[in-house]
Amino acid sequence: MANNPSLGKKRAMTDEERFPELFVNTNIDRRMCQRVVPLKVIVVGMPRTGTQSIRIALKQLGFSDAYHMDCLFENPSDIDLWRQAFLAKFKNHGEPFGKQQWDQLLGHCQAVCDLPTSAFIPELIAAYPHAKLILTPREENSWYASCQRTIQSTAMARSMHILSALDTQFLSRFTPLLGLMFGSIFPCPPDLWPTPEGKRIWIEHYRRAHDEARSLVPPDRRLEYSVEQGWGPLCEFLGVEAPVGRAFPMVNDSGSFAVKMGVVKRQALGRVLRRWSPVLGVLAAAAVGWWWARR
C-alpha cells in the first residue's frame, strides 16, 4: 500500500474549537440576576498578562467561572451594564456600582480577571473583602509592546470601526465600549498610543493599578504570579490540588490574538451580509429590470 502523507497529520482546529468563547451567544439580562456563588478570587490582570490562560486554569481548578473580556462575546447584554459602570466611575454620570450591582453582573462567577473588571479593583475589593487577590505583573516594556501588537494595532483597527457601524447586532455596542474603556483607564487619544507620551501614560496606569491593589490587600491574601510558573504557586495559594497529567493552559499569544480578531471580523461581516442580503437582492433585481427595460 502506498504511503498516504495525510495519515498521521494532526487535523487543524476549527475556529469554534480554537475560540469557543466566540461561538457562545446567550442573552441573559444580568439586572435580573443575583449572586449564586461566592466570589473567591480577584485577579488584577491587565490585558496581555496571561489573563485568558488564568481564566481557563481557574475553570479547570473547579471555579465555576472567571469573568473576562471574552464574557462580552459570550453574553453581549453585559455590554450595556459595563457602559453604565464606566460612565459612573470615570465620567461621573450615574450612580457608581455597589455590591448589589456587582452581584447582578458577576454573581455567576467565583473569580474575575482582565478588563473590564480590572478597571474596578478597589470597588471589587471593597465589595468582596474576603476574596483572595492575584496580581499578574509583567515587565513593563514587554507588556506595552504586546499591547501595541494586539490591542492597539488589531482590536482598535479602522476596519473594526467600519464594521461596527454596520454590525448593529454586536460590534456597534462592543466597539464604543472599548473606546470608553481604554479612553478612561489610559487617558490619551488613540492616535497618541504608539508615541512616547502614550507609552508613558499606559505604563503609569499599569504601575499605579498594581500598586493600588497591593495597598488594599495584606500580603497573606495576595499572590504575585506569572503564568510561566504553572500550576504550583497558583494551586498552593488557592488551597487546591493541581490537575494530574494536565499541562497549564498557555493561550492567546500575539499571533493567536490576531487570528481571533480575524474571526470576530468575519463573524461581523457575516451578520452584516445576512442583514442586508434581502435589500441587496431587491436592488439587484431592480437594476436588472431597469437594464432590461432599456434594451
Question: Residue 292 falls within a domain, yes or no?
Answer: no
How much is the pLDDT for 127? 98
How much is the pLDDT for 206? 94
* Helix intervals (H) in 112-157: 121-127, 140-147
How much is the pLDDT for 76? 95
For the four alpha carbons of 75, 76, 79 and 81, in that order, the dihedral sign comes to negative
Q: Give the burial class of 219: count Cβ atoms within 10 A of its Cβ; 0-12 exposed, 13-18 middle, 19 or more buried.
A: exposed
Question: Residue 278 falls within a domain, yes or no?
Answer: yes
How much is the pLDDT for 1? 47
How much is the pLDDT for 280? 54
Question: Residue 295 falls within a domain, yes or no?
Answer: no
For residue 208, give the CATH number of its domain.
3.40.50.300
Question: Residue 77 falls within a domain, yes or no?
Answer: yes
CA dist 124 to 106, 112, 130, 164, 263, Å? Answer: 10, 9, 11, 31, 32
d(CA 258, CA 265): 11
Question: Residue 81 falls within a domain, yes or no?
Answer: yes
Each residue's pLDDT tens digit, 58-101: 999 999 999 999 999 999 999 999 999 999 999 999 999 999 99
Mean pLDDT, the chain, whole residue set: 89
Query: Contact at 8 Å (CB) between 66 and 93?
Result: no
Question: Residue 228 falls within a domain, yes or no?
Answer: yes
Specify the number of domains making up the chain: 1
Q: How far does the chain reach from its first CA to its final CA, in angstroms? A: 62
Each residue's pLDDT tens digit, 108-158: 999 999 999 999 999 999 999 999 999 999 999 999 999 988 887 776 677
- Under DSSP, the state recorded for 66 is E
CA proximity to 51, closest of 151, 127, 130: 151
Lowest mean pLDDT among 50-54, 137-141, 199-203, 271-275: 271-275
Question: Residue 287 falls within a domain, yes or no?
Answer: no
Question: Residue 5 falls within a domain, yes or no?
Answer: no
pLDDT band at 292 (very low <50, low <70, confident <90, very high): very low
Each residue's pLDDT tens digit, 11-41: 788 989 888 888 888 999 999 999 999 999 9
Domain that holds residue 61: 19-282
